[in-house]
């Protein structure tokens, strides 16, 4: 029996019964107000949930969701901070592959939410964000409305959303929502923002302002296909290569990617590397070279599939005593710079490429495989695969010895934390929603491929993890799986209130807090600067450590209604703590295991 088969249906039923409105007319009528029509259209477009932090600027919309639509499809999910609301929608969309929505209160709510919106934009996650605003009619403004409204509100985030609108009159609400949905869900994906004037929300609906029920008329754009001559040229370059290396990135969210990547890797006898914080390939496949990414430096041809920043990846993989892959020919299979904004430098360095296959990555891989099968290969793919497998076997043996040498370390080593967690959950139907990034030990967690791990925030915003994990766990629950994840202590403390939302709506999950008592990412930076300046690096912890007093994170989790255990200090206690947490999660609880780990 899978991990959640016995629990998923009761959990989903329980969730839908939370916050059920009373006293409603059982026969829904036609929309009578501008916001009614918009909520109807959200339902037609498939939005099941809408994450909110309350605000009077969308009181009309709120009433339409609850008292007109019965708080179902979409159902309100109360969050205790706007960043959490956006992160929850971010995680839900990324894991569930479904449209996500959030509602944000006027200017101040949008300011709180802005970092999380930036994360979603860089992570290319489709999301429709609704913001209360106005009233635009100054004679209808209350005193508070003057400081909580602006012309135009969307300027706050215009540089990192795909599209924004302030529809007027209320009869335009539905058309604006449809366009926001189409743009957000057309590649390259990203958030859109629609600002709803609070006075117009409460207007009586005018003739023709109702929803359009024909969803087939409003589908997002179809996948972009690659140029066929470029595909043939890329296939020939790969087939003629002495050492082809394939690197995949964001495509790792799509479970369809793995079979295609495996087929192409085996066809070419190529080495394979996952982009940083990505999983798209089976861990134990003999051509998986994540144990030794320096193999990139041996490449004469690199196929980059939906990789965000290839130049940086190549530089990071360069051996300290060897050459880089600067001379390798590069094939870029991606959507390129479509959708890039000039305000942020997020697009990175200029991307060198000999061939650019501008297309949807899944579609492009299919075309590339078909073209490669038509070419007689000049190189011995099977022989190269054997050499790669031998090299990786040696690298994995070194990793195993390193893990065992730190097995009994106190505080608990990162390797042991991941190994014990994998042993705990490996026989359950689960999805890894979050993991530690800088210290993730490759090869311990046995992934079958894409769609089993969902990456980081995209924008590097601390505080993403807890909300995204709740959203991801909701999507996992809807698909009869259990959401599990590892969150850092700093990330957890910035948005721990997300746990309340999970408990309140009955969203089971297993969260492990990797607590090294520090915002540790910055400590090595401070030590490096101090050494360079001839100053004592021993002081790098000042202003970084979360200690004296140490926060009782398990107690904090319990205060939100979670089952929690910890802090776990003894390595020998870790396995039992994780097993207890898993059992609680499988029984429908939000389970938190607080672990003190090495920096």
d(CA 456, CA 445): 17
The answer to whether position 7 is within a domain reads no
DSSP string, 412-441: BPHHHHHHHHHHHHTTS-EEEEE--STTPP
d(CA 88, CA 49): 10
The answer to whether position 351 is within a domain reads yes
Give Cα 341 distance to the centre of its chain: 20
Residue-number span of the structural domain to which 515 is assigned: 407-596
**Do 518 and 553 fall into the same domain?**
yes
CATH number for the domain that contains residue 437: 3.40.50.970
**Do 368 and 241 fall into the same domain?**
yes
Phi–psi pair at 115, nearest 5 degrees: -65, -40
The answer to whether position 21 is within a domain reads no
**Do 161 and 269 fall into the same domain?**
no
The answer to whether position 3 is within a domain reads no
Per-residue pLDDT of the chain (599 residues; tens, 9 = 90+): 344 444 567 777 777 788 999 999 877 678 999 899 999 999 999 999 999 999 999 999 999 999 999 999 999 999 999 999 999 999 999 999 988 999 999 999 999 999 999 999 999 999 999 999 988 888 888 888 888 888 889 999 999 999 999 999 888 899 999 999 999 999 999 999 999 999 999 988 876 666 777 777 778 889 999 999 999 999 999 999 999 999 999 999 999 999 999 999 999 999 999 998 899 999 999 999 999 999 999 999 999 999 988 888 888 777 766 555 568 999 999 998 888 888 888 877 777 899 999 999 999 999 999 999 999 777 789 999 999 999 999 999 999 999 999 999 999 999 999 999 999 999 999 999 999 877 899 999 999 999 999 999 999 888 999 999 999 999 999 999 999 999 999 999 999 999 999 999 999 999 999 998 877 777 888 889 999 999 998 988 888 888 889 899 999 999 999 999 999 999 999 999 999 999 999 999 999 999 999 88
The answer to whether position 12 is within a domain reads no
Q: Tell me the three-class secondary structure of 542-573, residue by residue.
A: CCCECCCCCCCHHHHHHHCCCEEEEEECCHHH
Q: Please report the pLDDT score of residue 474 as a whole number.
A: 97
**Do 373 and 257 fall into the same domain?**
yes
**Do 207 and 351 fall into the same domain?**
no
The answer to whether position 377 is within a domain reads yes
**Dihedral angle over CA of 313, 251, 490, 130, nearest 10:** 130
**Do 411 and 384 fall into the same domain?**
no
Q: Which helix (H) or strand (E) holds 248?
A: strand 244-248
**Do 270 and 131 fall into the same domain?**
no
Last residue of a domain, one of 364, 394, 424: 394
Q: Please report the pLDDT score of residue 401 as a whole number.
A: 93
The answer to whether position 243 is within a domain reads yes
Give the closest residue to 557 by CA, choosing from 477, 482, 470: 470
Q: Is 0.75 topped by the overall pTM?
A: yes
**Do 186 and 239 fall into the same domain?**
no
Give the closest residue to 281 by CA, choosing from 450, 456, 95, 455: 450
Residue listed under structure tokens 């100053």: 535
**Dihedral angle over CA of 34, 40, 42, 45, nearest 10:** -130
**Do 124 and 250 fall into the same domain?**
no
**Do 451 and 585 fall into the same domain?**
yes
d(CA 572, CA 407): 10
CATH number for the domain that contains residue 300: 3.40.50.1220
Q: Which two tokens stand for residue 437?
A: 């990034």
The answer to whether position 223 is within a domain reads no
* Exposure string over 376-396, b if 16+ CB within 10 A, otherwise e: eeebeeeebbeebeebbeebb
**Do 202 and 118 fall into the same domain?**
yes
**Do 251 and 162 fall into the same domain?**
no
Last residue of a domain, one of 186, 218, 250: 218
Last residue of a domain, one of 394, 420, 438: 394
- Please give the tally of structural domains in the chain: 3
């Amino acid at each position: 029996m899978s991990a959640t088969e016995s629990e998923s249906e009761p959990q989903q039923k329980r969730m839908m019964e939370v916050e059920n409105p009373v006293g409603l007319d059982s026969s829904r009528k036609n929309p009578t107000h501008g916001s009614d029509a918009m909520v109807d259209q959200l339902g037609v477009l498939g939005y099941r949930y809408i994450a909110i932090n309350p605000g009077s600027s969308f009181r009309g919309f709120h009433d339409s969701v609850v008292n007109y639509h019965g708080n179902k499809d979409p159902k309100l999910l109360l969050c205790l901070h706007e960043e959490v609301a956006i992160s929850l929608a971010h995680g839900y969309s990324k894991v569930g592959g479904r449209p996500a929505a959030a509602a944000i209160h006027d200017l101040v709510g949008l300011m709180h939410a802005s970092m999380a919106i930036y994360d979603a934009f860089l992570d290319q996650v489709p999301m429709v964000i609704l913001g209360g605003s106005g009233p635009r009619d100054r004679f209808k403004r209350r005193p508070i409305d003057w400081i909580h409204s602006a012309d135009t509100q969307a300027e706050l985030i215009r540089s990192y959303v795909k599209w924004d609108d302030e529809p007027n009159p209320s009869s335009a609400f539905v058309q604006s929502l449809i366009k926001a949905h189409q743009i957000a869900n057309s590649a390259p994906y990203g958030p859109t923002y629609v600002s709803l004037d609070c006075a117009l929300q409460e207007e009586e609906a005018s003739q023709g302002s109702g929803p359009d029920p024909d969803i087939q008329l409003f589908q997002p754009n179809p996948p972009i296909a690659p140029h066929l001559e470029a595909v043939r040229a890329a296939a020939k370059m790969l087939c003629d290569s002495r050492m082809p290396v394939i690197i995949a990135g964001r495509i790792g969210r799509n479970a369809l990617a793995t079979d295609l990547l495996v087929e192409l890797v085996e066809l070419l006898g190529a080495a394979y590397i996952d982009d940083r914080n990505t999983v798209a390939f089976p861990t134990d496949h003999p051509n998986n070279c994540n144990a030794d990414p320096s193999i990139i430096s041996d490449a004469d041809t690199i196929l980059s599939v939906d990789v965000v920043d290839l130049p940086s990846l190549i530089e990071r993989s360069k051996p300290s005593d060897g050459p880089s892959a600067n001379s390798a020919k590069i094939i870029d299979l991606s959507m390129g710079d479509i959708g890039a904004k000039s305000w942020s430098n997020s697009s990175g360095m200029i991307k060198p490429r000999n061939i650019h296959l501008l297309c949807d990555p899944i579609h492009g891989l299919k075309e590339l495989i078909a073209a490669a099968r038509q070419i007689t290969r000049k190189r011995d793919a099977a022989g190269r695969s054997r050499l790669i497998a031998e090299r990786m076997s040696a690298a994995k043996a070194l990793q195993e010895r390193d893990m065992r040498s730190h097995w009994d370390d106190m505080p608990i080593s990162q390797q042991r934390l991941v190994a014990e967690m994998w042993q705990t959950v490996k026989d359950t139907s689960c999805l890894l929603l979050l993991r530690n990034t800088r210290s993730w030990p490759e090869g311990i967690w046995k992934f079958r491929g894409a769609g089993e791990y969902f990456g980081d925030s995209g924008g590097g915003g601390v505080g993403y993890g807890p909300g995204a994990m709740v959203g991801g766990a909701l999507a996992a629950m809807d698909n009869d799986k259990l959401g599990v994840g590892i969150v850092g202590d700093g990330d957890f403390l910035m948005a721990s209130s997300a746990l309340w939302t999970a408990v309140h709506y009955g969203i089971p999950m297993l969260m492990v807090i990797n607590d090294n008592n520090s915002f540790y990412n910055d400590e090595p930076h401070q030590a490096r600067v101090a050494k360079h300046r001839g100053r004592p690096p021993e002081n790098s912890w000042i202003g970084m450590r979360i200690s004296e007093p140490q926060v009782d994170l398990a107690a904090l989790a319990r205060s939100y209604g979670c089952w929690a255990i910890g802090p776990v200090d003894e390595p020998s206690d870790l396995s039992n703590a994780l097993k207890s947490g898993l059992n609680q999660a499988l029984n429908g609880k939000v389970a938190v295991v607080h672990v003190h780990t090495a920096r």
